[in-house]
Amino acid sequence: MTGVCSSGRCEAGWKGNDCQTACTNGEFGPDCTGTCHCASGDFVCDVRTGVCSGGGCEAGWKGNYCQTACTPGEFGPDCTGTCHCTDGDSVCDVMTGVCSSGGCEAGWEGNNCQTVCSQGEFGPDCTGTCHCASGDSVCDIRTGVCSSGGCEAGWKGNNCQTACMPGEFGPGCTSTCHCANGPAACNKTTGACTGDCHDLWTGDSCQIPTATVSYEDLFTEEEGCFFGDSSDHIIAYNDTDVDECARRCLQGYGSYDGVNPPCLSFNHRPAGSPEGGSARCWLSSSDKDRAVSPGSEWDSWPDRNYYQMQGTGECIFLIILVVNDEF
């Protein structure tokens, strides 16, 4: 008598030619071909079924018998962890949650991307810094967008990650600097100037117009004069009134530093003029008018006013006579 099973297989929990050898720790099932996946170790694994008597499934496995591998996006004991990898679930280790590439997705940080961004942080691996006027609590940890209050002083943009341009300051960069030493001398948070305020302005942040000096004291208006799109053109600005246009000519704004080249005159189109469009300002390094250039930009030039810095050359009127379509 041999004890060999005629069916060729041992019952669950046994193995060997004559099915007289019990499964060792970590094995279970018929012929002991199953592998246990118990979080508390092999000794809690039922040699017949693979069920863990305590502790649940080890990392990377789930199910009644801990024989089902975690699906993409899951990890850890019983697959209860959620992956947060920038490059997707496929790079997430089913046991640890560690991302093999790309780091953590927006809103998460840490070795296995399981730590939520702290207040004031956002983005992939929480490397972004929030700039919300109403504080860090209103900052979206994924995008950095402020749910209320807008951007804090010195910052602008959809998620408040763009620093104010030279010449801008304050919350959302909505205020204009008035520094005698140009835009670079302006504190982007407060508007305070390194040096003095421009002649037209006073106050701690140079935001109070002076009562004694205006653009009219510094520029002479020459109706009918204009300049064309010549090499003397510096820059143009939309939605700018004549006072602000004069200030930008004198001290610069944005990409123009007010020095290179020096602004000596400007054209201004008031809002609601027959030419149409918003108020617009053109700066020029010329001290006199220039010939008109063809095209829609200059078709209605009489609706603009020319302002020449006092002490420079006189405006030269340009008259073009058209006779029988010939000059």
Angle at 149 between CA 148 and CA 155, to 5 degrees: 115
pLDDT over 60 (residue 318): no
Tokens of 171: 């919350």
| CA trace torsion 240, 242, 244, 250 (10° rounding) | 130
**DSSP conformational letter for 305:** E
Structural domain boundaries in the chain: 1-69, 164-213, 216-309
pLDDT over 70 (residue 38): yes
Sorted by sequence, the CB contacts under 8 Å of residue 274 that are 6+ apart come out as 300, 303
Tens-place pLDDT, residues 168-190: 999 999 998 988 888 889 999 99
Taking CA atoms, 266 is separated from 181, 240, 243, 316, in Å, by: 20, 12, 11, 14
| Percent of the chain whose predicted confidence (pLDDT) is above 70 | 83
Confidence of residue 34 (pLDDT cuts 50, 70, 90): very high
Confidence of residue 213 (pLDDT cuts 50, 70, 90): low
| pLDDT recorded at residue 243 | 85
E-state strands within 157-310 = 162-163, 168-169, 175-176, 201-202, 208-209, 219-223, 233-238, 265-269, 280-284, 305-309
| pLDDT recorded at residue 215 | 77
Q: Mean pLDDT for the chain?
A: 85
What number is the average pLDDT over the span 218-233? 70
E-state strands within 26-127 = 27-28, 34-35, 61-62, 68-69, 74-75, 81-82, 108-109, 115-116, 121-122
Tens-place pLDDT, residues 256-276: 888 888 898 888 888 887 777
